[in-house]
Amino acid sequence: MSNNSHGLNVAAIREDFPILHQTVNGKALVYLDSAATSQKPDVVIQALNEYYHKYNANIHRGVYSLAEEATARYEGARKKIQKFINAKTHREVIYTRNATESINLVAYSWGRANLHEGDEIVSTLLEHHANIVPWQLLAKEKNAKLKFIGVDDHGVLRPEDIETMITDKTKIVAATMVSNVAGTITPIKQIIDRAHAVGAITVIDAAQAVPHMPVDAQALDADFLAFSGHKMLAPFVGILYGKRALLEKMEPFMGGGDMIREVHLEYSKWNELPWKFEAGTPAIAESIGLGVAVDYLTELGMENVRAHECQITAYALDKIGSVEGVQILGPLDPDQRGGVVAFSIPEAHPHDVAQIFDSEGICVRGGHHCAMPLHEYYGIAATTRASFYVYSVPEEIDKLVETLKKVKQIFKAS
């Protein structure tokens, strides 16, 4: 496989990431945990340094030059994100701490006002805990019912469940675009259309989608879309996209500075969108860094990013699948999955496997990956997960498989 992958010069891209050029435990670093958090290119790191070196000030309030520049860059990043996901207006783009907070914001502000006893919430077995637990809390509080669309043995959502579980009683459909364990790309447009047909709103976990493939919020017709900057080459900051008509009707998630227009002892009036949902001093530098990361990904081209990940995932599926006794979760067709390969071997617990990989300088994730219900469905407690991004190369997969074979030998001998 060439370093030039579907329009991406991966060798040149790797030069942009300083963290990749080091050794860990005396071995060259192999970073295969991008589904947990991605590495950051120099331009993003420099953007953070520039903020703190040159215009460190709070936003929106100050009229002096530093504050005005900080505000301009912070709001400029919002408009870049709007364009990146094709939101209709920048007022539909809300900064949060992370995708988890984005989902909780919807559960709190929309859910508590609109869900009633006997209503139903529909989610899926593929969900991260962040798209399960908030709905459990809401359903318990409102005496509503929470249902889950099932999967087949390959981690693909059952189409019949989509049709039968989403009914006239459904008020919220909360679904992922891409599973962070099985890697499954869900039929999200079908799910959204079905939800809208019965009058339900949709809350889409796009944390594993927006960084890796073109996502068009308007074409999807999603009501809410949540994702995290730290999974897309940026610092730790989150985004909630929401349709303006819905956001306008919602009460604030948190109270405090910047989300207000007026405060009196007896009452307050809220700021306009998007600031109504951005109480207090935000993550200014991190948000600016997300804007720079969006520039970086836009220059690469998200179609190219997706094509590269399909290629590297196909290679990983082939190589990992060739190791005897390894069970791979999820679809085996790389076109049906994101850049994630979770696998298990009967001889060893994934935490032990991950520690052995670390001794070889390889970063993988061992555990349930905040998706315990899916692991329960498969009858396993945990898996080892390798995940890829724009800087991943076939040689890293080769090193992974070489070490995986050593792991099997070690535990077979013991």
Q: Could you give the domains of the chain?
A: 4-31+301-413 (3.90.1150.10), 46-298 (3.40.640.10)
Q: How far apart are CA 316 and CA 262, in angstroms?
A: 56
Alpha helices in 61-115, H assignment, sequence order: 65-85, 99-106, 112-114
The b/e string for 223-249 (b: 16+ C-beta within 10 A; e otherwise) is: bbbbbbbbbbbbbebbbbbbbeebbee
DSSP codes joined into one string, 328-341: EPS-S-GGGB-SEE
Could you tell me the pLDDT band of residue 61, with boundaries at 50, 70 and 90?
A: confident
The answer to whether the peptide bond before residue 274 is cis (omega within 30 degrees of 0) is yes
Report, as an integer, the average pLDDT of 157-169.
97
The b/e string for 110-147 (b: 16+ C-beta within 10 A; e otherwise) is: bbeeebeeebbbbbbbbbbebbbbbbeebbeebebebb
In the chain, pLDDT over 90 holds for what percent of residues? Answer: 95
* 129, 376 contact by CB (below 8 A): no
Annotation marks residue 310 as catalytic: no
Q: How many CB atoms lie within 10 A of CB 49?
A: 11
Report, as an integer, the average pLDDT of 203-221.
98
Average pLDDT, the chain: 96
Q: How far apart are CA 279 and CA 301, in angstroms?
A: 34
Residue found by looking up tokens 């792991």 in the block: 407
DSSP codes joined into one string, 139-164: HHHHT-EEEEE-B-TTSPBPHHHHHH
Could you tell me the pLDDT band of residue 170, with boundaries at 50, 70 and 90?
A: very high
Measured in residues, the chain has a length of: 414
Q: Which helix (H) or strand (E) holds 4?
A: strand 4-5
Report, as an integer, the average pLDDT of 287-306.
98
Predicted confidence (pLDDT) at residue 2 exceeds the cutoff of 70? no
pLDDT of residue 1: 36
Predicted confidence (pLDDT) at residue 3 exceeds the cutoff of 80? no
Q: Which helix (H) or strand (E) holds 138?
A: helix 133-142
Phi, psi torsion values for 52, nearest 5 degrees: -75, -25
pLDDT of residue 30: 98
Name the percent of the chain in helix, strand, coil, to the closest 5. Answer: 45, 20, 35
Predicted confidence (pLDDT) at residue 199 exceeds the cutoff of 50? yes
Residue 68 corresponds to which tokens in the numbers above?
């005005």
Residue 321 corresponds to which tokens in the numbers above?
């699948």
Q: How far apart are CA 110 and CA 388, in angstroms?
A: 35
Could you tell me the pLDDT band of residue 7, with boundaries at 50, 70 and 90?
A: confident
Could you tell me the pLDDT band of residue 13, with boundaries at 50, 70 and 90?
A: very high
Helix axes 302-321, 394-413, angle to 10 degrees: 30
In the chain, pLDDT over 70 holds for what percent of residues? Answer: 98
Q: How far apart are CA 144 and CA 74, in angstroms?
A: 39
Report, as an integer, the average pLDDT of 211-240.
98
* 10, 390 contact by CB (below 8 A): yes
Could you tell me the pLDDT band of residue 347, with boundaries at 50, 70 and 90?
A: confident
Phi, psi torsion values for 191, nearest 5 degrees: -65, -45
Q: How many CB atoms lie within 10 A of CB 321?
A: 15
> If 0-12 CB within 10 Å is exposed, 13-18 middle and 19+ buried, where does residue 67 land?
middle
Q: Which of 370, 372, 380, 410 is catalytic?
A: 370
Could you tell me the pLDDT band of residue 411, with boundaries at 50, 70 and 90?
A: confident
Of the listed ranges 60-64, 74-78, 187-191, 355-359, the least confidently predicted one is 60-64
pLDDT in tens, 116-133: 999 999 999 999 999 999
What is the bridge-based pairing of β-strands 23-24 and 27-28? antiparallel
Report, as an integer, the average pLDDT of 54-59.
97
Predicted confidence (pLDDT) at residue 5 exceeds the cutoff of 80? no
Residue 251 corresponds to which tokens in the numbers above?
């009460």
Sheet holding 365-367, edge to edge: 327-328, 340-344, 383-387, 365-367
